[in-house]
Every structure is written in C-alpha cells, then in structure tokens.
Structure 1
Amino acid sequence: MTSLGTHTDTDVLVVGAGPTGLLLACELALAGVRTLVAERRDAPHRESRALNLHPRGIELMDMRGLAGRFLARGRTVPGWQFIATLPHRLDFTALDTRHPYALLLAQARTEALLEERARELGVRIRRAHRVVALGRSSSGVDAELRGPGGTVTVRAGYVVGCDGGRSFVREAAGIGFPGTRESMTAVVGDFAVADHAHIERARRHGVLVARLEEGLTRFVVMDPLRIRVPSTEPVTLAEFRASLSRVCGTDCGIGEPRWLSRFGNATRLAESYRRGRILLAGDAAHVHFPVGAQGLNTGLQDAMNLGWKLAATVRGWAPPGLLDTYHRERHPVGRAVTDGTRAQTLLVELPLTEEYGRPAALLCELLDTLLGMAEVNRHLAGRISALDTRYPPAAPDADPLSGRRMPDIGLTTTAAGRAVRVYELLRDGRFVLLRLGRGGGPEPPAIGDRVRVVTARSHDGHRDLEGVREVLVRPDGHIAWAGRAGGPRALGAERSRALAAWAGSGTGSVGQASTP
C-alpha cells in the first residue's frame, strides 16, 4: 500500500469499496475523472452477503464489456424467488433480454472482479483508510482520512458515500435516513459440512439453501421462536442447528461454520441522494430486508446512473441540472424497492406469528397461485430484475420510450455492413445516437466527442421500436430521446434539443462511426 501523503487532491472521492463504490469508480475513470476510493477495511470481505446478479445487473456489465468475466465465474439459473417460502419462482426466461437468468456469484467475487477493472482504469484504492471528518465549501470537500500512517487530508471536488447503511458520509452531510425499525430477524450461515440428502426437505419448509464456492453451503433460516431476537445478538452453531431442526425436522448435518450472522428487516431510505457536493449510492441511500436479492443490484444501478452524470459535471460539459436528475431518477426507484421489500417481508413474517399465521398462509397460497400465471409472473419478474425500470420523461410530450431501458437489439451498420449489438456500442461510456434505416433527420451538429453516431438498420424487429427513426441512448443504457414523426427538418430540430438537454453543448466533430 503506497502512502497518500499528508495532502492529496482528486476530482471525486468514493467512500466504500463494495460493489457500488467500485462500479462507480470504474465509470468515473472511464470518463477520465481522477478518482480515489477510500475503504475502512484493510482487506476485502471473505464472506458474501449477496449471492447473485439479476438480469439488469448483468446487462450493465455487458454494456462495458465485462459480462464475460462475470459469467465465467458464476452459475446461471433461470429465475429467482419472489419470497423463499413460495413454491413458484420468478421466471426470468420470459423477459426481453439477452441475459434471461440470475447469475449465482458471491459478492466477494463480484467485488474482486470490479476491483480488478477499477485498477485497470487507473483508480486509486486505499484500504484501511476511514473517513473521520468532512468539511464542505463552494469549490469542494475536504475529507480527513485516518489510516495506518496517521491522518490524511483529501481535497475532492465531490464525495460519494457508498459506505453502507451506517454511512458516515450520509450522517456528516446531515441527510436524514427515515424508515422502519427492525421487527424480525433471520440467521444466515455458511458451512463446510452439510448433508445434502436433506436439502430439498429444507427448501420445502422455506429455508433458503445455496451452494457457494469452495465447497460451502449457505442456509438462511427464519425460526418462529427466534425471529424477535435482535440482530446484534451473535449466532452460535448450537442455535443454528436447533432452528433448522424446528423448522424442517433436521439440522441437515451442518458443521464447520465459516460465517454466522443475524440480520433484520429495518428499512430506510435517504431523504435525498444529494446535498451539494456530497452524494449517496447503494446501501448508504437505502437498506431493507434482503428478500428478492435486490440490494446489491439496486446499488449497481445507482452507480451506473450517477457515474456519467458526475463525470459530465466534473469535466464541465454537463447541461444545467443534469446532476440533479440523479436524485430525481433513482430516489423513486429506491422508494419502490424499499416499499416492495417491506411487503415481501410481511409475507415472510406474518405466517410465522401465532396471531396472523393462518390467514397469512392463505394469502401466500393465493399469491403463489397468481405467480403461476404467466402475465403476473412476468410483471413481478420485470420489477425484481429491474428490467422494467423507467425514469421520468424529460418533457411532458416526450416519446413513450423516453426514460426506458434500451433493448440490446442487433444492428447491421449501413456503411460497413457489420453486425453489432447496441450494448457493444456503449463500451466506452459515450452517448449513442442510432439513425435507423434511411428515415433519419439531417446530419447532427458538432457537439464534441461525447456522442457516437451509428447509421444502421435493425434486424431484430423489436416491437417497441416500430416507427422509430432515431434514438439517443444514454451512457447507462436508458433512452434519452426517440424521434418518429415529421420531416427531416423537424426531426433534426427535435434531436438538436435532445442533444443539448442531455449531452450539452461544445465544439469539435461528433464521433461519427458506423462500427463500434
């Protein structure tokens, strides 16, 4: 570990080297922003709280050319549970994506892969450095970091707190974190020894069981006699065995625990994702019970949304108000996730109680029946996977595609006749202006090198793009603008307004290209 010295400058200080902080650092570095990551731990976590990437999380990696690294280290499964106690699972194979599956990959592995990429991009990562003070001014933030060599002062243009539910950055910024207190807990354990002959029996009784790397097996148990135990109370092997036996009639032969923990259902959402030059992402902005495995995936989407906007602001080309759209777009998503997980958690908790057990069980049976219906299953799978996330349109008269996720359609470029996919065009983190067929407007004006222009025809025939002549795709894979009707002149004027609103103004040639 190299010394930071007593004083250092950086464009952005990211606090926290979890998946959210590391992906954000990658996005900033990709855009040429000097980035420093400060992490209080002296080494990466060995245990993994999260175990999977949902389809949208895999798509984010695909946009940056990283999906292959992740897919090579994990195992895909066709769906995921809405809640573990219901027999019907969410079917991701019915979704409109090239990645219709969940990727079973331990969080520790996800962090390692993202750290590898961050270092390739030149991100400085300093472990064993804890932020102990933040001082704000109109031109930056002074952060005091305490590390092995003493206290270091970092002057940053912006600070992003990706430092978890107990975020120091959030508290120092004075951002409220309202929500609900813990009312139930569950226990989780990773074991080197387990009798797999009893695994299916455990699953039938609502125990979540997953095979991990290095021969470990994870069990997550909600014991009706122990759900009111505070999450601060340590878990013992004897308690875990007793809970398993009560819940499913066997302790599954567990032994040699590598990690035991207790977690609760406290649910909180930051009042704001931004206060001046301080921003929040991931668990620093939202915490909830891990039902549906949405926490890590939501944090990655925060990072992807914020990265290009913060980079644009640092580099001076951001249109007015662009950075404010981070809160405007991601806070409602955080609200939907925290509200949704509270509802899901009730369906886990109430059947375990004496007062509501029977009616809650009947409600779960009804929900399971609904999950067996293709349309209902697809709707909930779209929500949990985040493939249906749509950001508010920039204008009341915006095209219905505005704010939606851009599908990864196949294209054939007009000039070279080369087959490409949309996500291949996003590898360098620029905007992509797709001119589909020969019906687009006039050549776009020069606005610097922030936009890749591709003239192509779609060979996927995607139903949502019927009649669309041009599409402006944001660096995070969402649609900024779509143009359909009117003559070339009207379409060109519409596009010019969209480019100015999202990609800013500037001089120099647009990145004209027919191939990625």
Structure 2
Amino acid sequence: MVHPGRTAVVIVGGGPVGMLLAAELGGYGVRTLVLEADAATSERPKATTLHARTVQCLARRGYLPAPEPTRLEGSVSSPFHFAGLPGLQITAPASEPDPILKRPQAELERLFETRARARGAKVLREHRVVELHQGTDGMRIAADGPHGRTFFESAYVVGADGARSTVRKLAGIESESWPATVSAMMGLVRVEGADAPVAGWHRTPRGWVTVKEDTDGTHIRTLNYASPRADCSLDPSLEELRRETSWILGQEIAMSAPRWLSRFSDFTRLARTYRAGRVLLAGDAAHVHFPIGGQGLSTGLLDVLNLGWKLALTVRGEASEGLLDSYDAERRPAARRVVDNTRAQVTLMDPDARFDALRSVFGGLLAKDGPHGPLSSMISAQDTVVAGSPGDLSRWEGRFLPNLPLRTEAGPTDVIRLLQDGRMLLLLFGVHGDGHEKAAQKWAHVLRVVRAERVADVSCNALLLRPDGYVAWASDGDDLDATLAVYLASGRTFIGTAP
C-alpha cells in the first residue's frame, strides 16, 4: 500500500502516452504526478494516425465517442498501405468506431491532460528527472525544475519519456537494438514553381519522397538509402532538405518558409523488459522503430491501456500478486511484432532493382489480403491476443470481444458503454449464470455483473471481460474462481470514477 503522504505513481514524460496513463490512474482514484521536461505541449507535427484496436480500446475507456447501441451489420474499411504499396484495407466491424482515426498528436495530448487534471493528477512542467533510486518500499526521484532540484517519493515510476528515456537509462534496463540503415528528413515548407511534386508517395532509384498538402504548407518527408547516417539530434537546414528532396526526385525543387524541420532514421530499439521492480516503461521509452505504417503512437497508447488498470489495482492492493508482471508478458511481444514488420517494410522500400521482384510479390499479396487479411490485422493490431488463464481454455479467452449490442434490464446498451467505468465485467446471458453470479460476489469491489439477453454471436452462457476489452474467461472454459484469482485480490471497496 501507499503511504498517505507520498504519491502512488510518478510518470516521467507528459506526452500523449504519459498523459493517458495519468488519466487512467486518476480514474481509479490513484494519486499520480506527471513530471514533464517541456514547458508546454509541442505543436511540432508528429503522429496523426490511430489504428483500429487503439481506437476501439479508447472508446471502451470513454476517450472517444461510442457508436449508437444498435446492431450494425457488416464492416467498415479504410484504405492504407504497406511499405508505400497501396491496396491494404484496414477493416473493423461496423459496430465499432471507424478503423482509422486521423488526429494530431498534440490534440490527443491535450485531451488526455485535461482528463488527467480533472481526475486529480498533478502535472509539473519544466521538471527534468536526473536521479532515480529504487528501494524495497518505494522510489525516490530527483528532478531539476524552475526553482532548483526537487525530490519526490512514490510507490512506482513509469518512464513515458520517449526514445532517449532517462528512466530507462537510470533504471539500468537493457535493450535489443538494430542500427540505422537509412536516413530521413521531414519538414513543413512552401514548395514553389511548376515542378513542385504532387501529393503522394514518390519512389525513385535514389529513395522516396512523400508529399502531403495542408493549409499551412507542404509536408515533405525524404527517405535516403545511400547517404551516411546523420546525427538525428541535429535538425537539418532548409537547404539540406531542399537538396535531399531534389536529389531523390532528380530535379531541382524550390522551397521556402521552413517550419518543424527534423531528421530521423530506422534505428530500432526494444527494451528487454518493461518492468524492473518498481520501474515500468511505456511507449517510445520501451520501443522505437521506423515510423512507417503509423503504428508508433497506437502501440504506445495500447501499452497504457494494458498497464493502467493493472497498476491501479496493484497500488490499491486489489490485484493478484502476478498481475503487474503480465504487462511485460503481453505488451513486449506486441511491440516485437511492430518492430519486425517495420524493419521488413524498410527492406521492402529499398529502391534497388534487386527488390523489384519482392515488391511485385507483396503487391499481389496486398491485392488478395482482403478486409480481414493478416497484413491489415497486423498493422491495425487487431490480431493481438493475450494469454488465457491456466487450465482448460475456452476459444474465447484472450480474444478481443467486438462491440456487441446488448439488451439488459436497464435497457439497450453495448460492450463499449458497459466497460467505461473501468471495472472487469461479467456478462451473464439468458436465464443461466446464477452460479457464476454467486462466485463473483466476493469480487464485487472490482467486478461488475450485468445480465443480458442472449446474443446470437455468443454461444456460451457467460463471459468475463478485462477493462481493456479482452476476454479473460468464458463459461465453456475452466472455473471462474480460478480465473478471477489470477487477476484479483479480494477485500476492498471499488473507489474508481467513470471516465
């Protein structure tokens, strides 16, 4: 348990990942402090894509609108790409939010920060962490701020402080890494002249240039497979970006009015563990990869939606002994899949002619991938499953439950709305389930029980859902008590607040 005079959790890093975690913990009544080095939210253009599974989980936690609780047949698809090759379709059930959400990272960060502050989280900006000490009963953190060095104590520290994570380094968490093989630049500029490239993806024998127009100017990204790897901590000049773009496209391109110039590469890192005692990692602090396919922000937010309820229950003394360890066991393999597919895409994008046959094969696969194919499911993280409980498993366990429309005594609703109070959810279908309801009584402080009419899509009498929407147990599997004991401890009153 946490001493009343100290913070339960210190989150280092106030980007969208850190702010979402603060909002999640605040929703469970957990005392949370965010330490952020920057003075304000950065308006620099960064990630803008959220994929289907992230959108679905955010809706279940109340951060995005839920669809009307009526059955919607069929599915909805959005066009996407794989390694710059068109033809991929990201598809989700029509009862879910649209499978791809385009929203600037800064806008999401402000949304999560507003929610975090409303739930009691404290945010200290211009505080840079410089020391981290882990003891048997808690953490001691030192940060340099506007008024000098300040010390903080907490039960846990979460590093959400980006690719160059100070928390990861101070905690001594080692990583697997893969060196850069390409160099890239990006910036918002004004492109002038009749030879200005049109919007879209441009591949030449020297590399790639992507062009996107908006009201502020032209977003240019370059990808160079030939030049030496530059120091990514040094922003390029306008002339460097202009020269690189012109060289790749094979014609002179005139640019002016530069904003937000930066450089990056395909350097890749994956932490060997997401937990070292009382220190945990999330987002780019845990995994860094080439930003192809818009998977970076989505992966980081899914880390939080897996970690938040587990850490909250642990702090409150309501979690089983091993629940927090399952964060690493579930999220690190998911990040490894992203690392692997982004590295594969960088190889596939190599403009050398020896990869033409490979691109041709993949182009054919994309055309046949279909709305529920393996590539679209991989990019959107809809192929993610979690480990089931020990014993006899149901085919439902570990799967993500779609947003089923439900009819309860309180009226029509759906899975999304029933999960928004943050508790585990036991759904009982039809007239059966009295034995399951009795077994769940001693867990009522963290478990909500809802009776609903039978649903054609569900063949069993009962389902137990985690707060992130994954099925923890089904009545055609092992004993409910045994599963609940994997997740929960008994004996306290639920004190969370609905998102």
TM-based fold match above 0.5: yes
How many angstroms apart in 1 are the aligned matches of 2:159 and 2:183? 26
Q: Are positions 1:426 and 2:419 aligned together?
A: yes
Once the two structures are superposed, the pairs formed by residues 19-38 of structure 1 within 5 Å of their partners are: 19-38=16-35
Q: Are positions 1:438 and 2:438 aligned together?
A: no
1:140 equivalent in structure 2: 138
Letter paired with 1:432: L
The 1:448–1:68 alpha-carbon spacing in structure 2 relative to 1, beyond 3 Å, is closer
More deviation, 282-291/187-196: 187-196
Output one character per residue of 1:36-82: Cα deviation in whole Å (capped at 9) or x when no partner: 0000111211103212111122112211222139xxxxxx9923222
Contact 1:370-1:377 within 8 A present in 2 as well: no
Q: What SS is found at the alignment partner of 1:46?
A: coil
Q: Are positions 1:472 and 2:464 aligned together?
A: yes
How many angstroms apart in 2 are the aligned matches of 1:211 and 1:201? 6
More deviation, 306-315/102-111: 102-111
Once the two structures are superposed, the pairs formed by residues 32-431 of structure 1 within 5 Å of their partners are: 32-68=29-65, 78-84=78-84, 86-88=85-87, 90-93=88-91, 98-191=96-189, 200=198, 202-205=200-203, 206-211=208-213, 215-226=216-227, 228-249=229-250, 254-348=255-349, 350-351=350-351, 357-375=352-370, 378-413=373-408, 415-416=409-410, 418-431=411-424
Letter paired with 2:114: E
Aligned mate of 1:483, from 475, 479, 482: 475
1:488 equivalent in structure 2: none
- Residue 419 of structure 1 deviates from its aligned partner by 1.2
How many angstroms apart in 2 are the aligned matches of 1:194 and 1:92? 35
- Residue 118 of structure 1 deviates from its aligned partner by 1.1
Structure scoring higher RCO (CA < 8 A, sep ≥ 6) equals: 2
1:457 equivalent in structure 2: 453
- Residue 193 of structure 1 deviates from its aligned partner by 5.4
Q: Are positions 1:447 and 2:451 aligned together?
A: no
2:482 equivalent in structure 1: 497
Contact 1:448-1:510 within 8 A present in 2 as well: no
- Residue 242 of structure 1 deviates from its aligned partner by 2.8
Letter paired with 1:342: R
Contact 1:95-1:382 within 8 A present in 2 as well: no
- Residue 281 of structure 1 deviates from its aligned partner by 0.7
Contact 2:128-2:145 within 8 A present in 1 as well: yes
More deviation, 189-198/444-453: 189-198
The 1:258–1:123 alpha-carbon spacing in structure 2 relative to 1, beyond 3 Å, is same
Query: Which segments of 5 or more consecutive residues in structure 2 lack a partner in the other structure?
Result: 67-75
More helix by share: 1
How many angstroms apart in 2 are the aligned matches of 1:197 and 1:315? 62
Output one character per residue of 1:181-214: Cα deviation in whole Å (capped at 9) or x when no partner: 22211111122556799554652435333345x5
Contact 2:275-2:328 within 8 A present in 1 as well: yes
Q: What SS is found at the alignment partner of 2:14?
A: coil
The 1:308–1:94 alpha-carbon spacing in structure 2 relative to 1, beyond 3 Å, is closer
Identical aligned pairs, as a percentage?
A: 39
Q: TM-score normalized by structure 2?
A: 0.89
Letter paired with 2:314: T
The 1:122–1:210 alpha-carbon spacing in structure 2 relative to 1, beyond 3 Å, is farther
Query: Which segments of 5 or more consecutive residues in structure 1 lack a partner in the other structure?
Result: 1-7, 70-75, 352-356, 486-490
Q: What SS is found at the alignment partner of 1:309?
A: helix
Q: TM-score normalized by structure 1?
A: 0.86
